[in-house]
């Protein structure tokens, strides 16, 4: 026999015969893993011309077309000798006289094999028991070598593995495994060997794994990826909804996946994920609209399941869907209330910003127009008290001036005159000004004279009276400014158009 390629001995280095290099035969469909004198090896092909077996040593998992195989030169063994197969273990792909399958059980030299090469109607599996000789262990098929049924079975196993990661709160591992399961069946090309049950299983795996991957993204705060996974599930659900009553939909209903679960529970779950992703990305209006749409999809199924007369006749699937939809509606209601409050707060902030911008652009008064009612009342009370104090001060000053002119002191009795023969004593007023000011709001300014001279009015009083009458400019200042800006803009546009003509 010939031995070649790095056998750590120069005496065993031989080249491949020229005849075999000229014409390469196809690889074996089922590549057996054998135990050689140099360790484990994989029979890549068996030549029909001379019966030589090409055995790749070391790497027995990857196929010859895999990237890992092409990156390096393997150690090859060419021999006509029949090496025995390695001992089989549970879960290995094996081949026996009845076909290829997976080894499920070993008991007292009895091997239980679930055949994959046999296809029966429905979901029936063929199981055989081998006792004559142990089956041969073969390499597992690569993804490109699998048919649709094998790809769906692989995706199912990965889905179960991802569920374990999720229960252990390993959300990164669960996300990667769910995404891998989706990729396994994303580009499946169905042919005449694909049964309707396989197609139904593929739809379920695509929807559930996409939704579960979106949930993992929510846990990891990957909002964009969560939205993509959830929208993929919605695409599958919408396509299935358009084919209600057909074979795949009928198979799913017969297996316990009712419409309330398909188009109610699973749909609402996808919309909840999309709404949360929109909210985290600042799209509040879109999030609220999506939640309302989800409510419109879920409530009819709740009403349908709740309105059944005989509640004891409900199956487990109906009760589970009703319970899940009720919880989803509660969560949906909570999110709508929360997002509505956030929208109101955002609108208030926008209004405040608009007021600040308007004030900065067009100016503003002393702020009394934009003050709240409480602030306006405080301003009125402060102005009233200041006016009362001012009037009292004027009254005291005028009374002191009258006393100086008439000579009436604090020790002169009422009705007497000091230093005057013919003039009458001045009239002493009643101190009713303060009570009048307390009764009336706003206060009335009064000037009282006790002499022949005309009453004295201070300049700032006249200025204050003059300021009470606002001019049209002051009343409509902002409107006039806007009209002026608009007029200038119109004239500029008209002038530019004439210039270009």
Instruction: Look up residue 263 and give its DSSP letter.
Output: I
pLDDT at 119: 76
Task: Give residue-wise pLDDT tens across range 401-416.
Answer: 655 555 444 443 334 3
Tell me which residues of the chain have a pLDDT lower than 50: 1-22, 365-371, 379, 407-468
- The alpha carbon dihedral of 266, 271, 276, 277 has a sign of positive
In 3D, which of 123, 131, 124 has the Cα closest to residue 98?
131
Q: What is the pLDDT of residue 437?
A: 44
Measure Cα distances from 432 to 211, 398, 428 in Å: 84, 15, 12
Non-local (6+) Cβ contacts of 145 within 8 A are 63
Specify whether the CB–CB gap between 174 and 166 falls below 8 A: yes
Closest to 61 in 3D by CA, of 97, 27, 92: 92
Cβ contact 58:40 at 8 Å: yes
Contact status, residue 270 vs residue 237, Cβ threshold 8 Å: yes
∠ CA 423-424-426, nearest 5°, is: 120
Contact 42, 36 (CB under 8 A): no
Exposure on the CB side of residue 193, measured as CA atoms within 13 A = 11
Q: pLDDT by residue (tens digit) across 98-134?
A: 899 999 999 888 999 999 888 777 777 889 999 878 8
- Compute how many other C-beta atoms are within 10 angstroms of the C-beta atom of residue 222: 18
Four-residue CA torsion sign, 414, 419, 421, 426: negative
DSSP state of 265: I
E strand or H helix that includes residue 56: strand 53-57
What letters, b where the CB count within 10 A reaches 16 and e where it falls short, cover 177-194? bbbbbbebbeebeeeeeb
> What is the model's pLDDT at position 311?
62
What is the distance between the alpha carbons of residues 476 and 413, in angstroms, rounded to a whole number? 59
Can you give the pLDDT at residue 94?
Answer: 93
The pLDDT value recorded for residue 271 is 95
If DSSP codes are grouped into helix, strand and coil, which group holds residue 25? Answer: coil
User: Smallest Cα–Cα separation from 286: which of 298, 274, 297, 295?
Assistant: 274
Q: How far apart are CA 99 and CA 114, in angstroms?
A: 10
Angle at 262 between CA 256 and CA 263, to 5 degrees: 145
E-strand stretches of 160-208? none
d(CA 140, CA 30): 9
Q: How far apart are CA 450 and CA 426, in angstroms?
A: 7
């Amino acid at each position: 026999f010939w031995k070649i390629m790095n056998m750590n001995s120069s005496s065993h280095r031989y080249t491949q015969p020229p005849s075999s290099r000229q014409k390469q035969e196809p690889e074996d469909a089922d590549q057996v893993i054998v135990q050689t004198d140099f360790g484990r090896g994989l029979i890549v092909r068996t030549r029909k011309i001379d019966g030589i077996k090409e055995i790749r040593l070391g790497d027995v998992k990857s196929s010859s077309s895999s990237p890992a195989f092409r990156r390096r030169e393997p150690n090859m063994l060419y021999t006509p000798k029949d090496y025995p197969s390695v001992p089989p273990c549970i879960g290995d792909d094996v081949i026996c006289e009845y076909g290829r399958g997976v080894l499920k059980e070993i008991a007292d030299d009895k091997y239980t094999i679930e055949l994959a090469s046999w296809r029966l109607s429905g979901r029936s599996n063929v199981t055989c028991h081998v006792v004559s000789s142990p089956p041969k262990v073969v390499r597992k098929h690569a993804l490109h070598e699998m048919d649709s049924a094998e790809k769906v079975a692989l995706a199912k196993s990965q889905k179960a593995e991802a569920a374990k990661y999720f229960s252990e709160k390993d959300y990164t591992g669960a996300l990667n495994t769910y995404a891998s399961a989706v990729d396994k069946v994303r580009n499946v090309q169905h042919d005449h060997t694909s049964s309707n049950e396989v197609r139904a299983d593929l739809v379920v795996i695509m929807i559930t794994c996409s939704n579960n991957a979106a949930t993992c993204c929510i846990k990891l705060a990957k909002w964009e990826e969560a939205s993509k996974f959830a929208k993929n599930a919605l695409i599958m659900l919408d396509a299935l909804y358009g084919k209600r009553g057909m074979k795949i939909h009928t198979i799913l209903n017969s297996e316990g996946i009712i419409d309330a679960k398909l188009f109610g529970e699973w749909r609402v779950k996808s919309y909840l994920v999309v709404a949360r992703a929109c909210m985290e990305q600042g799209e509040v209006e879109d999030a609220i609209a999506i939640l309302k749409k989800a409510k419109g999809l879920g409530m009819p199924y709740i009403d349908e399941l709740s309105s059944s007369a005989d509640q004891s006749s409900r199956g487990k699937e109906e009760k589970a869907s009703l319970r899940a939809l009720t919880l989803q509606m509660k969560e949906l209601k909570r999110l709508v209330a929360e997002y509505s409050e956030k929208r109101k707060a955002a609108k208030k902030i926008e209004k405040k910003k608009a007021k600040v911008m308007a004030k900065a652009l067009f100016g503003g008064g002393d702020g009394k127009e934009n003050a709240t009612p409480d602030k306006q009342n405080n301003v009125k009370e402060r102005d009233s008290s200041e006016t009362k104090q001012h009037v009292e001060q004027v009254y005291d000053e005028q009374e002191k001036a009258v006393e100086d002119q008439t000579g009436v002191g604090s020790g002169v009795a009422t009705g007497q005159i000091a230093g005057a023969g013919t003039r009458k004593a001045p009239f002493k007023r009643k101190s009713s000004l303060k009570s009048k000011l307390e009764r009336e709001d706003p206060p009335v300014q009064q000037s009282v004279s006790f002499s022949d001279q005309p009453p004295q009015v201070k300049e700032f009083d006249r200025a204050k009276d003059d300021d009470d009458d606002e001019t049209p400019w002051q009343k409509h200042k902002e409107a006039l400014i806007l009209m002026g800006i608009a007029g200038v803009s119109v004239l500029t546009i008209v002038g530019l158009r004439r210039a270009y003509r």
